[in-house]
Amino acid sequence: MTYIRFISLCAGLLLVPAALAHHSFQATYDMDTTIEIRGKLIQMNFRNPHSSVMVLAPDENGVEQRWGIEWGGASLLMRQGLTRTSFKPGDEVVIVGQPSRERTDYRMRMESILRPSDNFGWGFNNEEFE
């Protein structure tokens, strides 16, 4: 095996875990259903390839749950006008999105987020992520 082919093979093998780690939204979330939660933001992770927020909000039975909401990557969100301080822990938020296929996971794929105290939000002016 030539040196170049060996290096190419090694590089290809290094990319396999990254490709496998990127999941299909359709496999994880019920893309035919949209839900809304209202609660307190407790954490915002502004990073690539996907940002996320954690929110304390009641489930459909009124029991408070810790929701994990997947969002777009930081670089995309920055191009859409957001920063890592656009939303802060303690903010009351309303989030609309697609729920996890496994309802007891309390996870969502974000479609929009609104902070009612000042009507600041994302997802209302054609912002979206893949």
Query: SS3 for 97-126, per residue?
Result: EEEECCHHHCEEEEEEEEECCCCEEECCCC
Going from the N-terminus, what domains does the chain have, and what CATH number goes with each? 25-122 (2.40.50.140)
Please check the confidence at residue 21 and state whether its pLDDT lies above 90: no
Q: What length does the chain have?
A: 130
Please check the confidence at residue 15 and state whether its pLDDT lies above 70: no
Q: Higher pLDDT residue, 72 or 12?
A: 72
Long-range contacts of range 61-64, CB-CB < 8 Å, 24 or more positions apart?
Answer: 64/39
pLDDT on residue 49? 93
The total of other beta-carbon atoms located within 10 Å of residue 123's CB is 19
pTM assigned to the model = 0.78
pLDDT on residue 8? 44
Identify whether the C-beta of residue 57 lies closer than 8 Å to the C-beta of residue 66: no
Distance CA 124, CA 20 (A): 31
Which bin fits 24, alpha (ψ -120 to 50), beta or left (φ > 0)?
beta
Q: What is the mean pLDDT of the chain?
A: 85
pLDDT on residue 125? 86
